[in-house]
Amino acid sequence: MRILMLNYEFPPIGGGASPVTLSLSRELVRAGHEVDVVTMGFRGLKARENIDGVHVYRVPSLRSRRDICHTHEMFFFDLIALPFCLNLVKKRQYDINHTHFIIPTSLVSYWLKKLTGLLYIITSHGSDVEGYNPDRFINLHKFIRPFWSGLANGASYLTSPSQGLKELILKRDKRLKVKVIPNGFNLVRDGISNKARIPEKPGILLVSRLFERKGFQYFLEAVRDMEFDNEINIVGDGPYRGRLEEIAKGINKDIRFRGYIDGSSHEYKSLYASSSIFVFPSKMESFGLVLLEAMAYGLAVITTSTDSLREVGGDVCLYVRPESASDIRCALEKLLKDRTLREELQQKAKERAKRFTWPRITEEFLSIYKEVLN
């Protein structure tokens, strides 16, 4: 099968949907299929590249930051990507188009279908659905509201990484055919050791793009008056980083803002290896890929009790209320004081993460491709 994969974000730019697109593409190639990815260019990146058999095409863009994409940058991508993809479709004769995000990417797919007949499916990732992101894209969603259902219904199928996001999609349009397929994590490819790791002093790790809704400010408030000297590492960049650093200045703890780190790098993996506790206090997620990543690395996890994160974490995490510094504090105290509990959750987390392997999830996508083509 020859597959066109579209996502305006692709490593090393973007958030959780970016590595998902790469991992799925790799797995499809490994299963014997051909995959071409068309994505947004960025300074210093090659316009064409082969990554483990995946052909990556990066079109010119206006994007100015690795961690965030503005509305005008998204729609400039659509303008450039459409003629580029039309040319590719004529040359490559794809069987199907797998598009990530209803907005902005499916605008390209909608017109590709109109002009060439190429069928497409969409994987939604959250920010493309009105009501998911309370602090971003408010005006964008108001603007595209009249067109959103048309773009979504143009697809032969929609997939969602969580039941919670599926319900939000159907709240917008009950006619849509939506299937839940979770994101995955490849334990072997990402070099995770199955050997027991018990650091002498449990490090505390937080990883995410830094937006206000990720809730890191409540973690900082939680640790302000706690008595411990464990190292705290915050990995990621984003528009809320400056505010978080201001809050951290008044806290007498070893808090280190690491900025963006490549997820495949030795530095990134070393931070997981030197940590025992992972905190992810986000109040809204479509799936929570970093949560799954932390579980696969074998960390004891504290996260919020939102539906999508419970779908990933099951019974192996400590859950706190969103925006509750006191809940985070209680959960941290419990894990720091109780080594037996901490190690028990670490082992359970690794076992649960095995349910989300990419080969299993890729088979689910392939079954949808075949259903659409039949």
Alpha carbons 62 and 74: distance in angstroms, whole number: 9
Contacts with 194 (C-beta within 8 Å, 6 or more apart), sequence order: 350
Residues 139 and 217 in one domain: no
207 lies in the same domain as 67: no
| CA atoms in the 13 A half-sphere facing the CB of 247 | 17
231 and 126 assigned to the same domain = no
In a shared domain, residues 148 and 215:
no
Judge if 135 and 252 occupy the same domain. Answer: no
> Residues 138, 253: one domain?
no
pLDDT at site 68: 84
Is residue 148 domain-shared with residue 229, that is, in the same domain? no
Q: Is residue 209 domain-shared with residue 246, that is, in the same domain?
A: yes
What is the distance between the alpha carbons of residues 255 and 285, in angstroms, rounded to a whole number? 25
- Give the least confident one: 17-31, 194-208, 340-354: 194-208
- How far apart are alpha carbons 287 and 16 in whole angstroms? 9
Answer yes or no: do 175 and 285 share one domain: no
Parent domain of 152: 2-184+357-373
Percent of the chain with pLDDT over 70: 93
The reply to whether 35 falls in a domain is: yes
Apex 101 CA angle, 122 and 93, nearest 5: 50
pLDDT of residue 200: 63
Contact indicator for 143, 107 with CB cutoff of 8 Å:
no
Residues 345, 361 share a domain: no
For 70-105, write each residue's pLDDT tens digit.
Answer: 889 999 999 999 999 999 999 999 999 999 999 899
Task: Tell me, yes or no, whether 351 lies in a domain.
Answer: yes
pTM to 2 decimals?
Answer: 0.80
Q: What is the pLDDT of residues 111-150, one digit of tens each?
A: 999 999 999 999 999 888 877 766 666 667 676 777 888 8
For the chain, what is the domain count? 2
197 assigned to some structural domain:
no
Q: Please write the tens of the pLDDT for every residue from 262-315.
A: 888 899 999 999 999 999 999 888 888 899 999 999 999 999 998 889 989 999
Reference 162, options 353, 354, 308, 368; nearest CA is 308
Q: Give the CA dihedral 154, 160, 164, 170, nearest 10 degrees.
A: 10
Residues 6+ apart with CB under 8 A from 224: 250, 251
70 and 15 both lie in a single domain: yes
CATH number of the domain that residue 369 is part of: 3.40.50.2000
